[in-house]
Amino acid sequence: MSKARAHLEVPPGVRAGIAVFDRRTGAFTARADAHALFRSASVVKLLIALDHLWSRGPRNPLTTGDGERLDIMLRSSDDAAASHFWTRNGDGAIVERMVTRLGLADTVPPPEEHPGFWGYTGLSAADTVTVYRHLLEDAPAPARDRVMDALRNATPRGTDGFDQSFGIPAVYSRPWAVKQGWSGFDAQGRSPATPKRRPVTAGGVDLVRGAVHTTGTVGAADRSVVVVLTLHPEGTGYGRACADVGRLTRTLDVPGGVPTD
């Protein structure tokens, strides 16, 4: 077993894709199934935001309304704002453009039969690290600051009422910046319990099991990029899934991270 995998504690029944990258040393300190595909849920909002900001400048400024939509989409994971940009900017073409621009190795658009479902985008932990590294190291300062400022001020709950303070925010003291993701739970936080049903997949991406992801940066100067993507056994409630993600996140080697307890 590699050093980067030695201390990971993935809860039973949970499928996880993990990557922790130390930007100071340029090395991964934790990695497991980093190229496995997961449905993105709201993590794809990073790509939606970057795509919309890509060509903005003095001759093509961001409007006040679009700025407000981007901020609430990133800070409070607002789905209506994401759907606005998704439809306006070409649906899956957004993902295809960002794959080319950032050199993403694994990311795929939603399946053709679900074109409007931006959360069905397939992505990996490794590609998510690449997205954050682009943001921090290559993106123009206005785009970087817009996105990262929103992620540093993530609200405790999304606009849909779901708790988004799990994982990184629960495990590490500030400074951190996060974009969380969740999918497959009803308004009461329940997920389907249908063990006899075969998992519904498209292009290798599971579209059924409850997904809970914590992604972002931890430490001064955004030292570590932390990505934990998870799928949970059918019937697992949202609270249990978030707790499992927290326990897993706590076992990671995150340079610059200061545990909350």
CA count, 13 A, side-chain hemisphere, 237: 7
d(CA 21, CA 38): 19
pTM score, two decimals? Answer: 0.94
d(CA 57, CA 9): 45
Q: What is the pLDDT of residue 57?
A: 77
Q: What is the pLDDT of residue 220?
A: 98
Q: What is the pLDDT of residue 193?
A: 58
**Local structure of residue 44 (DSSP, 8 states):** G
Residue 145 carries which side chain, given as an amino acid letter? D
Provide the 3-class DSSP secondary structure of residue 108.
strand
What DSSP string describes 6-35? TT--PPTT-EEEEEEEETTTTEEEEEESTT
Place of tokens 């939509």: 69
**Local structure of residue 114 (DSSP, 8 states):** -
Residues of the chain with pLDDT under 70: 1-6, 192-199, 201
d(CA 246, CA 10): 11
Give 181-234 pLDDT, tens digit per residue. 999 998 778 776 555 445 576 778 999 999 999 999 999 999 999 999 999 998
Q: What is the pLDDT of residue 186?
A: 83
| Radius of gyration for the chain, computed over Cα atoms and rounded to the nearest angstrom | 17
d(CA 189, CA 162): 8
Q: What is the pLDDT of residue 192?
A: 67
Which domains, and CATH codes, for the chain?
15-250 (3.40.710.10)
